[in-house]
Structure 1
Amino acid sequence: MFVFFYLLLAYLKFVLSEFNATARPRKPIVLERSGGFQIGGKIIQSPFNPNFTLSCDHGYMEYFVPWRPRKTSLVMWHSSSTQVWQNRWDSGPGYKDLFLRRNYPIYLWDGPRVGRANWPCQPTSYTPSYQDQANFAAWNFGPRYPLWWPDVQFPVADAAAWQHATSARYIEYDTTANVELQASAAAIAADSGKVGKEIVYLTNSAGGLRAMLTTAKANNTNIKGIVTYESIGYVFPDNVNVTAGTGGFGPVVVPVKQFKKLAQLKAVQFVWGDHRAANYSYVAESRRVAELINSYGGNARVLMLGEEGLKGSTHIPFADLDNEKVAGLLDGFLEDAGLDGYVDEDAEDWSDEDR
């Protein structure tokens, strides 16, 4: 009888352990604090009564700080909405949760006049542009709607996933003035220290241009790195015969002294998916900017995901079905740049498993 109960107990223990492993396969996210704040912007007076004012053109930062944080803050700068950082295309865990589990403080940034910071100092207007089908090709799901790339990292059989992807956007104002406005607000946030003393911008699409310009504008040295996923638009120094663009996708030309701030970062990485041709204009621009940064002693590199064995990447690879593999490459970037350390490396109760 004793043997029977011993075997039964062992069996139940095995079943429960298997159940727990299946039900909770991931490390829990434990936060020390979370919240949000407005930053930047200005106060304007009513033209009819100076006693009435409006606080406007500020940015909004939502933050999540792990219980045992690393030193480096990851500021996730969206091209369309913060949703792209929060979930994978199939609603699985996005970069926010993937890197919270790696104990990085996470900051989700809404620049002035978009998302949760859409309180502008100037009149704006909205006209429906009927661009769902245009989004399909712009986000590199395939060459044209509705022809998917055969190996695309998107749940193509899930119509709800496509509807969710194309509807999870903010209204954007892609103008030169908006690029300057958002970069200026982000520079104030970086210089304030409220985002930490070691900042790495993770950006997508037109957010890459804004993060580069933010670095050029910032007065402090809190910005340590930039990783741009399929950056649309680049910053150039004023000594290379590049004409500044007149729209919201650059090029933006800055004085050489400001451009050199990009060379002072620990590392810069321009990431492209495998369905981008080598002669694609923005890929070519990323290579040229990387060369310019390196010519001033910087550490910039163009990373082609196809060359790393990742196939079918979309314009937003950190939301793709293989985003864990994309995240693994970011792990290597942060480690190589010395940006993976903990706030308290010597804490006795921090085991290797916690890290």
Structure 2
Amino acid sequence: MLRPLLALALTGHSATATPHKPITLSSTGGFQTGGRTISAPFNPNLTLSCDHGYMEYFLPAHPRKTSLVMWHSSSTQVWQNTWSGGPGFKDLFLRRDYPVYLWDGPRVGRANWACEPTAYTPAYTDTSNFVAWNFGPRYKQWWDDVRFPTDDDAAWAQATSARYVEYDTRANVELHARAAATAADSGRAGRHIVYLTNSAGGLRAQLAAALASSTNIKGIVAYESIGYVYPDNINVTAGKGGFGPYVVPVEAFERLARVPGIQFVWGDHRAENYSFVAESRRVAGLINRLGGNARVVKLGEVGVRGATHIPFADLHNEDVADLLDGFLEDNGLDGYADGDEDDEGGEEEVE
């Protein structure tokens, strides 16, 4: 059940807001996962380890059993702070005692050792990103209720510069999904994993769940997912680019449908005829017909208004976090590690 939000106080949170309780950690660190080793064509004795993903982890002293793997489309920065510099989802959920993992997929961010040549060409996308990130209908025409500090030029500069190079191709979708599936199957991020994704990360997480051989992936919460996975028995034509549709064998789609809880979350300025909203409803229906548990949530319909494409970085991100709290509780994912004898939590899995 989606819990209603009552009497929401949609106020911004800045870096100097009322102090929160301290975050007490048992350990922090990071590790590589997935990838492969290749040999130089001119000398097989020379090798390169490449195409791995990278996890940075933060483990509370008294952890819950569920690990939140925060999967960006732009950069890990979007999980660390609000647009105004206030606490992001990383700190909000560490204070709730959830182990937090920040994920860099292969060839981006801190996992940028590629097994193939890559190239970067400046694309001058700040203007187009304004609309793509749902700040308003056209450049610098903000939605009246947008939860962004619209009069803060420094915040806009931070938003547009906190980016990694993205490779939105089918091959890259598969590369990221395989690395994430390997990470989930390894257990190093715990045995109860919820992928929190944004934008093009949503497609990659869906495919990772379809590829994973374990049952460690317990949930996917996809904020404004751009791209969807379909089974191969419903006459959907696979897309040629990096935003889907992505078609998998029906048995792989059934693995996605067995993930205990899935949410596709949209801001209130996304129309029902927006193509990816329509796709999210179709895929949720396909999952549910297989006995799964997928829902589409429009934030405006539950009292969270003015959301951008990255609602967990908005000035009301604590209200968005409250919705995630409800999802975790409703799916039995909010228990503590020491209360579940069958689970070791994230803490002992990381060396």
Q: How many residues align?
A: 326
Aligned twin of 2:310: 316
Distance in 2, Cα, partners of 1:53 & 1:25: 50
1:58-78 CA-to-partner distances (Å, cap 9, x unmatched) read 000000000000000000000
Aligned twin of 1:279: 273
Matched, 1:145 2:139: yes
Cα distance, 1:264 vs structure 2: 1.1
Aligned twin of 2:224: 230
1:96-131 CA-to-partner distances (Å, cap 9, x unmatched) read 000000000000000000000011000111111011
Distance in 2, Cα, partners of 1:43 & 1:256: 31
Distance in 2, Cα, partners of 1:326 & 1:267: 17
Matched, 1:110 2:104: yes
Which of the two has greater helix per residue?
A: 1
Distance in 2, Cα, partners of 1:228 & 1:24: 29
Say which of 127, 151, 154 aligns to 1:157: 151
Aligned twin of 1:4: none
Counterpart AA for 1:224:
K
Matched, 1:126 2:134: no
Report 1:48-197 matches (<5 A).
Answer: 48-197=42-191
Distance in 2, Cα, partners of 1:184 & 1:246: 19
1:209-260 CA-to-partner distances (Å, cap 9, x unmatched) read 0000000000011000000000000000001110001111011100111101
Distance in 2, Cα, partners of 1:277 & 1:263: 26
Cα distance, 1:307 vs structure 2: 0.3
1:297-327 CA-to-partner distances (Å, cap 9, x unmatched) read 0000000000001111000000000000000
Say which of 268, 291, 304 aligns to 2:298: 304
Say which of 213, 236, 244 aligns to 1:250: 244
Distance in 2, Cα, partners of 1:185 & 1:265: 18
Aligned twin of 1:3: none
Distance in 2, Cα, partners of 1:344 & 1:252: 39
1:159–1:32 Cα change, 3 Å: same
Distance in 2, Cα, partners of 1:37 & 1:111: 12
1:176-232 CA-to-partner distances (Å, cap 9, x unmatched) read 000000000011000000010000000000000000000000001100000000000
3-state DSSP class of the match of 2:263? strand
3-state DSSP class of the match of 1:50? strand
1:143-202 CA-to-partner distances (Å, cap 9, x unmatched) read 111111111000001000001001000000000000000000011000000010000000
Question: Structure 2: any 5+ residue segments left out of the alignment?
Answer: 1-15, 342-351
Distance in 2, Cα, partners of 1:60 & 1:176: 20
Counterpart AA for 1:62:
E
TM-score (norm 2): 0.91
Report 1:15-30 matches (<5 A).
Answer: 25-30=19-24
3-state DSSP class of the match of 1:99? helix
Counterpart AA for 1:290:
A
Distance in 2, Cα, partners of 1:125 & 1:25: 44
1:150–1:296 Cα change, 3 Å: same
Aligned structure 1 segments of 4 or more residues deviating by more than 4 angstroms: none
Cα distance, 1:25 vs structure 2: 2.7
RMSD: 1.3
1:123–1:108 Cα change, 3 Å: same
Which structure's CA Rg is the greater one?
1
Counterpart AA for 1:327:
A
The higher relative CO (CA closer than 8 Å, separation ≥ 6) is in 2
3-state DSSP class of the match of 2:264? strand
TM-score (norm 1): 0.90
Cα distance, 1:24 vs structure 2: 6.5
Counterpart AA for 1:268:
I
Counterpart AA for 2:159:
A
Distance in 1, Cα, partners of 2:126 & 2:292: 39
Distance in 2, Cα, partners of 1:346 & 1:80: 35
Question: Structure 1: any 5+ residue segments left out of the alignment?
Answer: 1-21, 348-355
Distance in 1, Cα, partners of 2:340 & 2:202: 35
3-state DSSP class of the match of 2:63? coil
Distance in 1, Cα, partners of 2:121 & 2:257: 40
